[in-house]
Structure 1
Amino acid sequence: MIRAGLPRAAAGMSVGLLGGSFDPAHPGHVHITRQALRRFALDRVWWLVSPGNPLKTEGPAPLGRRLEAAAALMSHPRVCITDLEARIGTRYTAATLGRLQMLYPEVRFVWLMGADNLTGFHRWDRWEWIMENVPIGVIARPGQGIAARRSKAALRYANAQLPGRASFTLAGQAAPAWCYVNVPMVDISSSEIRARGDWRR
């Protein structure tokens, strides 16, 4: 299939997908990316800088500006910063994943998220389809552990959870499969950075 302008991935590779508006990207994103590469034994991580978050009413900064800032911050030979969703015309994670599975049928994708996202995961479009079609790596953030572990998604798929010590096997597991790992965190968020100054201007 035609993949012009899209990231490259060889057959058999394990690719972690970190989606978000990255408005702006910050050291916390870099930290969890490096941790995900190591803990989940991934060959690559792609930052999917989205055109906009369907769950947020306020629009993000222009896509080009967010891509440029993300690329300046995250410089790693195994990390790709991409506007893939804008290129393939998807906004919801389920649609993006379905399209990627068609475009890269021999690549093993792992969806990456912070524990705070797991807490509200049941509000995502077709969240059960996501759980049942792509392994999910959950990276703990400060203060989010209890709520995440008691979330609707965590309870619904409790039998599919891998122990943290088996995190390196996640990419090779058949979905549903998810793994929650605790890592030392950089406690900073994009919203805090926006509140400090004129990021959107």
Structure 2
Amino acid sequence: MSKIGLYFGTFNPIHVGHLIIANHLIEYADLEEIWMVVTPHNPFKKKRSLLENYHRFELVYRATENYPRIKPSNIEFKLPQPNYTVFTLAHISEIYPNHEFSLIMGEDNLNSFHKWKNYETILENHFIYVYPRVSAEKTSEKFKNHPKIKFVDAPITEISSTMIRNGIKNKKNVKPLLPKEVWEYIDDMNFYKK
């Protein structure tokens, strides 16, 4: 069984913070690969600010090209909308029966995890790797010592895609926050400027 971590996100755009966390988990957790799962539409986010699926996947592809154990995934593009993680996990586990899939999430997401569709089913069948966030409130007791939840001492990065989009719109230099290939694609395509 290969141990695969699934790092879900709209990645609008992917930035160095995402890569720092993914790379840390590859190097320090017991995962063999991390798949960056580009989410077409998160039920909790407004759709209008999203780049087209294809472009966000292209950004993730370019960002991860030099990381052989971090891979882009568009598996959710073919699933019914809106995407619910529980259905994606069932689908991906069926396609790849020789892989053991775990979820990767920030501590802030763990605090709203009880609101996720069928979250108990997710916990029954999958491990969850949680990385720290400065902005996270205290983790609920329900999840603190859960045998399926692993807290990872990853570097705390408070870079956000929203901050990057706003920076580009306001003509700020956000280059240090993005992998070079990602910045070049965004700049060539004139993304986020309006």
Fold agreement, TM-score > 0.5:
yes
> Structure 1 residue 158: deviation in Å?
4.0
Helix, strand or coil at the partner of 2:157: coil
Distance 1:180 1:117 in 2: 13
Helix, strand or coil at the partner of 2:133: coil
Distance 1:122 1:32, change over 3 A: same
Paired residues, what number?
169
Aligned residues of 1:136 and 1:179 also touching (Cα < 8 A): yes
Equivalent position to 2:14, from 25, 46, 63: 25
Could you say what the CA RMSD is over the residues aligned between the two structures, in angstroms?
1.8
Q: State yes or no: 1:80 paired with 2:71.
A: yes
Q: State yes or no: 1:111 paired with 2:103.
A: yes
Distance 1:79 1:180 in 2: 20
What amino acid sits opposite 1:65 in the alignment?
Answer: H
Distance 1:14 1:24 in 2: 26
- TM-score, normalization by structure 2: 0.80
- Unaligned 5+ runs, structure 2: 170-190
Distance 1:157 1:84, change over 3 A: same
**Where do 4+ consecutive residues of structure 1 move more than 4 Å?**
none
Q: State yes or no: 1:68 paired with 2:58.
A: yes
Distance 1:123 1:200, change over 3 A: farther
Helix, strand or coil at the partner of 2:59: helix
Distance 1:48 1:13 in 2: 17
Paired-residue identity, %? 30
Aligned residues of 2:21 and 2:155 also touching (Cα < 8 A): no
Aligned residues of 1:118 and 1:148 also touching (Cα < 8 A): no
Distance 1:131 1:148 in 2: 20
